[in-house]
A and B are shown apart, each in its own frame.
Chain A
Amino acid sequence: MTGAAVVVFFALLAAFAPQLSGITGNDPYTYHLNLLAGSGVPNGAFGGISASHWLGVEPQTGRDLFAIVAYGAQISLLVGVGATVLATLIGTVLGVTAGYSGGLVDTLLSRFTDLTIAFPQLIFMIALVSLVPASFPKQYFMIAVIGVFGWPSVARVVRGQTKVLRNRSFVVAARAVGASPVHVLFTEILPNLASTITVIATMSIPGAIGTEAALSFLGIGVPPPTPSWGREISSAIAWVSVDPWYLAAPGLALFLVTLALNAFGDGLRDALDPRMTGRRQR
């Protein structure tokens, strides 16, 4: 599965960013003004690609683009996966509770879901950006906010599945025997939800990565100089007429990671959870 391969590639890139950048002796922070023309455009073809700068350099600063993309992968993957894990945890807990309990608990949780959806995620983030002290690492903050706003979609699916499972014969039997709800949840329901949860989590990661990039694009992501794909794309768009390679690097990286994760998620869903794809012959 090429999707999986690409994902693994980027994960390794992110994990070993310092080492890989170090091969050429680069990091994403050092300025190389000597590589720029007076106007700030990188010298040389393809945005300044050379043996020591595999993807060229950034206009106006001369920073190594390969290092920026590699370190940027760290942020994108960290926030994307972290937020998804958080959203999945919250969503599963709430979804299972709502689906299993029914009645008043279900109704209350559904109202709570409405509240979360209706909440203006974007302005909430923008506002909190000003409140958070500059020294607090923004990426953890983003994980928290994106995660907390991401749980409804997980909860919805989990709730629906829980409801169905609840009425399945083995669960009914367990309850008839007198098993406590907690026992039933942990031994009967959750294991059967596992594949659903895995699939929906995997399919949510690209969205979370996209949200992080969009927020960075709007200028409210991790602050400079920490590299971030979204912020690089935002600066690079302006330079596309004079240095399109500046955009190509982070733009393609973001696109490829998202694409790969989507493909991987699709494959995983098809393999693991026939319920979600329909009972058709394959």
Chain B
Amino acid sequence: MRITRFLLTRIAGMIGVLLLVSLATFLIFYLLPADPARAECGKLCLPGELTQVRAFMGLNEPVWRQYLNFLGGIFTGRTYGAGANAIVCAAPCLGYSFQQNTTVLSLIGQTLPVTASIAVGAAVLWLVAGVLAGVVSALRRGRALDRAVMAVAIVGVSAPSYLVGLLAILLFGFKLNILPDSGYVPLQQNPGQWAFHLILPWCVLAFISAAIYARLTRSQMLDALGEDYVRTARAKGLREASVVGKHALRNVMIPVITIFGLDFGSLLGGAVITEKVFSMYGLGALLIGAVESTDLSVISGVTLLAAVFVIVANFLVDVVYKLLDPRVLRTPVMHIG
């Protein structure tokens, strides 16, 4: 019963948050001075034409109705215009981009794999590298290895990602010519090339994030190692590996996982800077392009999707948190973030 109630309230909350985010995004772009109908109308746009285009795009309606059309379209699909001229966007319709002449869903279908490829690869790398580095540092606290790892980590945390990325491209892409400087190859087309083109973005993203996780893991680990139960376990004569692996690490992973969940969730929404630096057309690049051309449909659709990722990640993290730490069930849940 507790679980059901927890689930229901959380899901209700999530939907509420999603609605608010989408409404806010919609409103911001509605208030912008740029006119999407004007952009769609093309050069030499005669006034009569502008009205026609506006009516066709459904921009004549009051803003609340436009928003409701958008929401409704997600469930029932949407039709723009009428008769043979009409454009049908099948459910779930996240909108139709007149500038790119295709549904937002298909644009997302093209760009999400790119972002996901970047995100998943980098995430695996940084989680493994970061946690490993942090654990090793904590265990070798104060010694040369610890100092070295932490020195590298603090550099990683301080360097701007775009700078590291661009310099990496310059070095490996142009000067040494061993890695491609840009471009994405789909996984199904050529797995080898897919990975080859992603090595640089993965490494750059991972280097910077691993640094954060290394520092975090180290401090959490030191915290855990100082706890009573660890001392007890050691006193009882348990092997060090068991102490570290089973007990300390388990508790360290809780905050690490919670932060990881959020980081990964927001990365899925589009790593804007990484995609720009490496010329990869993912969700972030799609979104920025849509903002520049005031393509309201794409903006609303992608923002909603990005918010979904973050919120779901947040939710999953809470679930994992509960599973890992039964104590939490008895006290009010600490909502991450």
Chain A residues with a Cβ under 8 A of chain B: 102-103, 106, 110-111, 113-120, 122-124, 126-128, 130-131, 152-153, 156, 159-160, 163, 206, 210, 213-214, 217-218, 230, 233-234, 237, 240-241, 251, 254-255, 258-259, 262-263, 266, 276-280
Contact = CB atoms under 8 A, between A and B. Distances in A.
A259 B335 contact: no
Contacts of A113: 335, 337
B337 A152 contact: yes
Contacts of A110: 335
A118 B154 contact: no
Contacts of A213: 160
Contact of A114 (B24, B28, B288, B337): B337
A277 B272 contact: no
Given A111-B13, A278-B222, A127 B158 contact: no
Contacts of A116: 337
Interface in B276-325: 276, 287-288, 291, 299, 303, 306-307, 310-311, 314
A23 B25 CA distance: 48
Interface of B: 13-14, 16-18, 20-21, 24-25, 28-29, 31-34, 141, 154-155, 157-163, 166-167, 170, 219, 222-227, 262, 266, 269, 272-273, 276, 287-288, 291, 299, 303, 306-307, 310-311, 314, 332, 334-337
A277 B17 contact: no
A266 B273 contact: no
13 contacts: A114-B14, A118-B21, A118-B307, A118-B311, A120-B287, A163-B334, A213-B160, A217-B273, A218-B276, A255-B159, A258-B160, A259-B154, A278-B223
A202 to B, nearest CB: 14
B154 A266 contact: yes
Nearest to B162: A217
- Give the interface SS of chain B, mostly helix, strand, loop or mixed: helix
B146 to A, nearest CB: 13
B287 A123 contact: yes
A278 B219 contact: yes
A122 B157 CA distance: 20
Contacts of B219: 276-278
Contacts of B303: 120, 123
Contacts of A217: 160, 162, 273
| Most chain B CB within a 10 A radius of its CB, from A113, A127, A131, A263 | A127
Contacts of A102: 332
A196 to B, nearest CB: 14
B163 A123 contact: no
Contact of A128 (B21, B28, B273): B28
A14 B62 CA distance: 49
- Going nearest first, the 4 A-B pairs with the smallest beta carbon separation are A278-B223, A110-B335, A258-B158, A259-B158
A114 B160 contact: no
Given A102-B332, A120-B303, A128-B28, A115 B273 contact: no
